[in-house]
Amino acid sequence: MTDMIKIEDLSKKFGDTEVLKGLNGSVSKGQVICVIGPSGGGKSTFLRCLNLLEKPTSGKVTFESNELTALNETQLNELREKMGMVFQSFNLFANMTVIENVKLAPVKVKNMSDDEANKLALSLLDQVGLQEKADAYPASLSGGQQQRVAIARALAMNPDVMLFDEPTSALDPEMVGEVLKVMQDLANDGMTMVVVTHEMGFAKNVADQVWFMDGGVFAEKGTPEQIFEHPKNDRTKDFLAKIL
Ligand code: ADP
Ligand code: MG
C-alpha cells in the first residue's frame, strides 16, 4: 500500500533552535495517528510542516505522491485543499452565519454554485449535529458547537486527510466529549487523520498508531496498546505517569 503522507528526515529550526530533529514516518489511507507528548515538544510545528504551513529546514514531506517540499506556493495551495486543518482556537468568521462559514471555501475556491454549497453545508452540519444552527452566528454558540462547525468547514473541501491540533484543549470539560464524538465518527467513516491531542482516552480508543513526541523527536511509536500498556521508552513512561 502506498503512503498518503510520507515524512523523511524532517527537521525544523527557528534561528539556532532545532525544534524538529530528523523525523520519519508515514500515514496510510484510513489510518488515524495520534501524536502525544509534553508541551514544547514540537507537536504543533510537526503538524504544520505536514501541509507546509511551516517550511521545514530540511527533509521531505510527500503527500499523495507529491513532494510538497519541492513545490511552489500555487501548487501547494492546490494540494492543501486536500488537507483539512482544525486548530485549538476555532477561528470562525464572526460576521458570517454558521452555514456561510461552512460554504465559503467551496464557493470561493471551488466555484461551487450557491445551491450546491448550501446542500453540502447542511449535510455537513447534520453530520456534526448542528443543522438547526445553520443561521446562527458563531458568538451565539458554545465552544464545543463552534469547534464542530470548524470541523464541518474543514470537511467542506472534501479533504483526503484531516489534521487536528489539540481540537479540544480550549474547551470547557463538558464540551470535550461532543467534539471527540464527531472525530470518532469521522475516523469510523474511514477518514485519514493526524491528531495532536492530550485526550488519552481518544488516543487509546481511536488511534491506529500513537506517536510520542518529546524534544523534537518521536521517542516512541506504537499501537495504543504498546504505548499505553507497555511503554518502552523512559520518557514515554515519565509522561504517562504524570498525566494518567
Ligand atoms: P508543542 O505543540 O508540542 O507544544 P511547538 O511545536 O508549539 O510544541 O513548539 C516547539 C518548540 O518550538 C517550542 O520551544 C517553541 O517555543 C518553539 N517554536 C514554535 N514556533 C516557533 C516560532 N514561530 N518561532 C520560534 N520558536 C518557535
Ligand atoms: Mg502545540
At residue 244, the pLDDT reads 76
Query: Which residues contact residue 175 at a Cβ distance below 8 angstroms, ignoring those fewer than 6 apart?
Result: 142, 143, 144, 145, 147, 168
Position 154 in a domain: yes
| pLDDT per position as a tens digit, 55-113 | 999 999 999 999 999 999 999 999 999 999 999 998 999 999 999 999 999 999 999 99
Position 58 in a domain: no
In the reported structure, the alpha carbon of residue 18 is separated from the centroid of ligand 1 by a whole-number distance in angstroms of 10
Q: Which atom of ligand 1 is nearest to the CA of 37?
A: 3
Mean pLDDT of the chain: 97
Position 142 in a domain: yes
Does the pTM exceed 0.95? yes
- Answer yes or no: are the C-beta atoms of 202 and 34 closer than 8 Å: yes
**How far is the C-alpha of 164 from the C-alpha of 9, rounded, in Å?**
22
Q: Residue 125 corresponds to which cell in the numbers above? A: 452540519
- Answer yes or no: are the C-beta atoms of 180 and 28 closer than 8 Å: no
In the reported structure, the alpha carbon of residue 49 is separated from the centroid of ligand 1 by a whole-number distance in angstroms of 12
At residue 1, the pLDDT reads 61
Task: Measure Cα distances from 18 to 70, 192, 196, 198, 214 in Å.
Answer: 21, 29, 20, 23, 12
Give me the number of domains the chain comprises: 1
Position 175 in a domain: no
Which residue's alpha carbon is nearest to atom 10 within ligand 1? 42
Long-range own/partner contacts, residues 230-239 (CB < 8 A, 24 or more apart) = 236/212, 239/36, 239/37, 239/38, 239/212, 239/214
pLDDT band for position 2 (50/70/90)? confident
Q: 3-class DSSP state for residue 66?
A: strand
| pLDDT per position as a tens digit, 10-49 | 999 999 999 999 999 999 999 999 999 999 999 999 999 9
Ligand 1 close to Cβ of residue 41 (< 6 A): yes
| pLDDT per position as a tens digit, 177-193 | 999 999 999 999 999 99
Task: Measure Cα distances from 41 to 20, 35, 213 in Å.
Answer: 8, 11, 6
| pLDDT per position as a tens digit, 163-180 | 999 999 999 999 999 999
How deeply is 31 buried, as exposed, middle or buried, from its count of CB atoms within 10 A (0-12, 13-18, 19+)? buried
| pLDDT per position as a tens digit, 183-223 | 999 999 999 999 999 999 999 999 999 999 999 999 999 99
**How far is the C-alpha of 140 from the C-alpha of 127, rounded, in Å?**
20
Ligand 1 close to Cβ of residue 97 (< 6 A): no
Ligand 1 close to Cβ of residue 106 (< 6 A): no
Domain span at residue 121?
A: 93-158
pLDDT band for position 137 (50/70/90)? very high
Task: Measure Cα distances from 49 to 12, 43, 72, 116 in Å.
Answer: 9, 10, 15, 33
Ligand 1 close to Cβ of residue 44 (< 6 A): yes
Position 112 in a domain: yes
Q: What is the dihedral of CA 15, 51, 23, 32, to 10 degrees?
A: 140
**How far is the C-alpha of 116 from the C-alpha of 103, rounded, in Å?**
9
Residue 148 has pLDDT above 80, yes or no: yes
Ligand 1 close to Cβ of residue 31 (< 6 A): no
Ligand 1 close to Cβ of residue 45 (< 6 A): yes
